[in-house]
A and B are shown apart, each in its own frame.
Chain A
Amino acid sequence: MARHIVARTTDIPPGGNKVVDVDGRDIVVFHVNGEFFALLNRCPHEGAPLDKAACVARLTSPEPGVYQRSRVGELLRCAWHGWEFDMRTGQSWFDPQRVKVRSYPVAVETGETLAKGPYVAETFPVHIEDSYVIVET
């Protein structure tokens, strides 16, 4: 597992996302409900960019006309065909076992920790006072 610094936490506002290149892969990092999630930025269906997906609630219903919402903003509806994916796990709604987006573990670390190395990327200057999003591939 390689660890990559991909962004400062302040680069990604709540409800927003950032697309970063990690080893030739486009990875999209979401910031929602105080957490960060990282997914391969390509829908397994036909390759749509997930950074343009709608971030919505997890929607369930016990019967017609009743709408139950939870985990607001943590589900993605793909920008193209609307397939729903759980940001946290990459699993699709309709077939969680077989259809998933590749998801990556994310950590947030302070500049102070990172400055001790060896995780500092050349192209990504690290400042002690900032917090950073780390993606593991």
Chain B
Amino acid sequence: MSDVIDRPVLEQEASAKSRLRIIDCDIHPSLHSRADLNPFLAKRWQEHMKTYGDHLRTPYIGTTPYPRSSPLIARRDAWPPTGGPPGSDLAFMRKQHLDPLDIEFGILQVLDLFIFSQQNLDFGAAIQRAINEWQLAHWCSREPRLKASILVGQDDTEAAIAEIERCARIGQYMQINVSPRANEPLGRHRYWPIYARAQELGLPLGIHVGGYGGHPPTGGGWPSYYAEEHQSNAHSMAATLTSLVIEGVLERFPRLKIVFIEGGFGWIPPAMWRMDQHFERFRSEVPHLKRRPSEYVREHFWFTTQPIDEPDEARHLRSLIEWVGVDRLLFSSDYPHWDFDDPRFAFKTPLSESERKKIFNSSARALYKL
């Protein structure tokens, strides 16, 4: 019987106020409807959005061939009573999430329209700008706790750089986001101009799971089930980490910081061990790497914690956290998705005060300069 919940909610849990304030590094606001973007789109693109809509490398225009286990991937209690999809109503987001959990800051990650994967690059450029503007207008300007990210379609480098410059001048964005399922693995040279700008601007690179790169979700082909496809997100992050490290991105851009969002963190220690184990044997193929791969990971990468791993034994989670390194972890909830982590109950192993502070606040604070 789970002892934690089999009792009335304790006073200090009823509201997290006066305990540690939380920085939530992954919140998904959503459009009420696509028309919300119209104020930020030229007429030509408003029309295009209505008539042609998305053009993604996936069979359906409006949904996924791997149907999720709940409507709109969301918690069933996250539908705003006033209407609209989960995550579309600021008042409800405050009431359900920001206020009771005492979220000091929430970093927004917009998944609507999946701008990173739009095949029509001009459309992609138009809607990425609209979404970046919408974040500020609808969310950040009305709620100072919420912080925006610059979303750019990585496969049109020119348009991406232009949008990065535009947003950087405004100065209210926390990071530059690209998708791990791009046309090519993210370490490839074609993406380096984006990393150069990120480094110059002192903005972290954010990489959130998902995308329609046109490849099967696994190296062995297309899975049949959402259960497989959901776990493939962790695999994509491992492959992305590998690409970024092995291509020498961090050697070329030594001040670049990279955040992996919604990948969880269980896969990271074995990925580091594997990279290190085989480094000597493959060294002659990658002479541009001057350091052991795990060193690059420990210095340049941060990982949001959701979906947190749930071993049967709490001590195994403790080992995992120590292997990854407390300093690498940033709490995230993934609100309002179904596999959301509640900051009060997600960590089933005790954390020291200083560990809690880092994971739930100070590491993100330093990284995003909040």
> Which A residues have a C-beta under 8 Å from some C-beta of B?
23-25, 40, 42-49, 52-54, 79-82, 98-100, 102
Contact = CB atoms under 8 A, between A and B. Distances in A.
Given A46-B345, A54-B76, A80-B75, A40 B5 contact: yes
B339 interface: yes
Given A46-B341, A47-B344, A49-B77, A25 B2 contact: no
A79 B359 CA distance: 26
Contact of A80 (B2, B4, B8, B338): B338
B69 interface: yes
B367 interface: no
Contact of B6 (A40, A45, A46, A49): A40
B338 A82 contact: yes
B1 interface: yes
B346 interface: yes
B2 A44 contact: yes
Given A54-B70, A102-B6, 7 more contacts: A23-B8, A48-B75, A52-B76, A80-B338, A80-B340, A82-B69, A100-B1
Nearest to A54: B76
7 contacts: A40-B5, A42-B5, A46-B341, A46-B342, A54-B70, A79-B76, A80-B338
B340 to A, nearest CB: 6
Contacts of B6: 40, 44, 102
A51 to B, nearest CB: 8
Interface in B219-260: none
Contacts of A46: 340-342, 345-346
Contact of B75 (A42, A79, A100, A102): A79
Nearest to B339: A81
A24 B1 contact: no
Per DSSP, are chain B's interface residues mostly helix, strand or loop, or mixed? loop
Interface of B: 1-2, 4-6, 8-9, 69-70, 75-77, 338-342, 344-346
Contacts of A25: 8
Contact of A47 (B1, B5, B338): B5
A44 B4 contact: yes
A54 B8 CA distance: 23
Contacts of A44: 1-2, 4-6
B13 to A, nearest CB: 8
Nearest to B79: A52
A47 B342 contact: yes
B150 to A, nearest CB: 30
A46 B75 CA distance: 13
Nearest to B308: A46
B255 to A, nearest CB: 37
Most buried by B among A40, A52, A79: A79
Contacts of A43: 5
Nearest to A22: B8
Nearest to B1: A100
B2 A45 contact: yes
B338 A52 contact: no
Nearest to B346: A46
A29 B60 CA distance: 40
Nearest to A42: B5
A118 to B, nearest CB: 25
A102 B5 CA distance: 9
A81 B360 CA distance: 22
A99 B2 contact: yes
Contacts of B342: 46-48
Nearest to B70: A82
B308 to A, nearest CB: 10
A42 B2 CA distance: 11
Nearest to B77: A52
A53 B339 CA distance: 14
Contacts of B76: 52-54, 79-80
Given A81-B338, A82-B70, A100-B1, A48 B77 contact: yes
A42 B342 CA distance: 13
A99 B338 CA distance: 20
Contacts of A80: 75-77, 338-340
Contacts of B77: 48-49, 52, 79-80
Contacts of A79: 75-77
A98 B1 contact: yes
A99 B6 CA distance: 11
Given A48-B75, A81-B339, A24 B5 contact: no
Contacts of B9: 42
Contacts of B2: 44-45, 99-100
A84 B76 CA distance: 14
A47 B338 CA distance: 13
